[in-house]
Amino acid sequence: KQEVTQIPAALSVPEGENLVLNCSFTDSAIYNLQWFRQDPGKGLTSLLLIQSSQREQTSGRLNASLDKSSGRSTLYIAASQPGDSATYLCAVSRNRDDKIIFGKGTRLHILP
Amino acid sequence: SAVISQKPSRDICQRGTSLTIQCQVDSQVTMMFWYRQQPGQSLTLIATANQGSEATYESGFVIDKFPISRPNLTFSTLTVSNMSPEDSSIYLCSAAGTVNEKLFFGSGTQLSVL
């Protein structure tokens, strides 16, 4: 059974710092991995999607990496801003027709 | 990308009543999904809403408690029936053009059952 773990559960960093959020999954046979952002009282916004054949994806100040063999992904946020404060969730799917399994998320707070 | 309108955004309901949540997508999508997010927990898939056929429910969720409609490729509803305080949660709908490509989410429904 696939399990997705995100550490830390919460993180506070000063504005301007670079930071890394971690995601691990128990079954390395994944189809893809996605990182989402969730603002309080809101739905989820897809940030990056990495296919199983890819090692990383970049969008602006965000970079997500994937190491299938070790069951890990990281989300790197450069030059953090207060607007980056949100909960970040990662999610994996085993194959194209399988459901997506979510981690519990990391609550990120950027201090002005 | 797809824009999903979900309503209501929040509701406070009495025990034993039912609430229907609606999701409207601005484009035709193959798959729509309904999730529950309990406080401090990750998202749990309730069911996959299939157009033209019955929804596919995950273990622990049944049609009598969470009936789903999917009358066309842009719309779906989830009903939370005979509610109890344990049903208090955020309910989210999502859609993907093809299964397990990028998921797009509605803004969620915050449900509180007294």
Average pLDDT of B22-47? Answer: 90
Does B74 contact chain A (CB < 8 Å)?
no
pLDDT confidence of residue A70: 95
Backbone angles phi, psi at A84, to 5 degrees: -80, -10
Residue B1 clears pLDDT 80, i.e. is over it: no
Contacts of A98 in chain B (CB under 8 A): 100
Give residue-wise pLDDT tens across range A20-42.
Answer: 999 999 999 898 999 999 998 78
Task: Name the DSSP letter for residue A31.
Answer: S
Give the residue with greater pLDDT, B96 vs B57. B57
Q: pLDDT tens digits, residue range A49-96? A: 999 999 999 999 999 999 999 999 999 999 999 999 999 999 998 876
> Do A41 and B108 count as a contact with CB atoms less than 8 A apart?
yes
Closest CA to B108 of B16, B18, B2, B22: B22
> Does B59 contact A at CB distance below 8 Å?
no
pLDDT of A46 over the 60 cut? yes
Interface with A, mutate which of B7, B41, B100, B102 (most A CBs under 10 A): B100
Concatenating the DSSP letter of every residue in A11-58 gives EEEETT--EEEEEEES----SEEEEEEE-TTS-EEEEEEEETT-SEEE
* Summary mean pLDDT of chain B: 91
Provide the pLDDT for residue A41. Answer: 77
Checking if the pLDDT of B40 tops 90, the result is no
State whether residue B45 sits within 8 Å of chain A by CB. Answer: yes
| B1 vs A24, higher pLDDT | A24
